[in-house]
Amino acid sequence: MKKILFVLVAMLFASLVFSQNSAVKITNQKTGTTRLFKEKTRIRIKTVEGKRITGRFQILNDSTMLVKGKVIDLSEIAKIKRNPLLMTVATDVVLFYTAAVAVAIIAFAGGTAPAAIFGVGATFTTMILGPNVLKGYTTEKNTLEFLAID
């Protein structure tokens, strides 16, 4: 029993000592302020081509990261921002109930079917696009680099 406990403690200690966490360091070119996005946090990336990719990221090497199964080079990123799960779920729920209330008001007030369809369509489109009110960091004003943190 003591040997098993010793091996488990030694493995835990070794994993803590030898493991390094990585992060994306975002530095503002004018002010010099920095932000860190630790690895495996949810982010939203807009690429130079205009594609939006949302998910947890993993750093592969000095110039590439993996987000939702897609390999992205640092030079392909036009904008990056955090995308917390709680905020995403909360905004989707609020927008869904807003659509439900809008449909109920239109139905009971004697509104027309096209008005109801337009209201619901606009709300669900907003839900799909997923509003994110957090600040985004563009590569025009900021520099991105990968960093190993302890």
Domain annotation covers residue 27: yes
> Does 40 share its domain with 108?
no
CA 5 – CA 39 distance, rounded (Å):
31
For the whole model, what pTM was predicted?
A: 0.61
Would you say residue 1 lies in a domain? no
Point out which residues pair with 55 in neighbouring strands. 43
pLDDT in tens, the chain (150 residues): 778 877 766 665 655 555 567 888 889 989 989 888 888 888 889 999 989 898 899 888 888 899 988 999 988 999 998 887 656 655 666 666 676 777 677 667 666 666 666 666 766 666 555 555 567 788 888 888 888 776
Residues 119 and 101 in one domain: yes
**Structurally, how many domains does the chain consist of?**
2
Give the phi and the psi of residue 42 in degrees, each rounded to 5: -80, 130
- Judgement on whether residues 106 and 76 belong to the same structural domain of the protein: no
**Shared-domain flag, residues 28 and 59:** yes
CA dihedral 5, 6, 11, 14 (to 10 degrees): 140
* Helix 113-129, helix 85-108: angle, nearest 10: 180
**Strand ranges for 9-141 from DSSP E:** 21-28, 34-38, 42-47, 52-59, 64-67, 70-73, 77-82, 137-138
Indicate whether 114 and 139 sit together in one domain.
no
Residue 102 domain-assigned (yes or no): yes
pLDDT of the residue at 49: 92
Which pairs from 93-101 meet CB under 8 Å and 24+ separation? 95/123, 95/126, 95/127, 96/123, 96/127, 98/123, 99/123, 99/124, 99/127
Domain limits for position 39: 19-82+135-149
State whether 23 and 91 are in the same domain: no
Answer yes or no: do 34 and 64 share one domain: yes
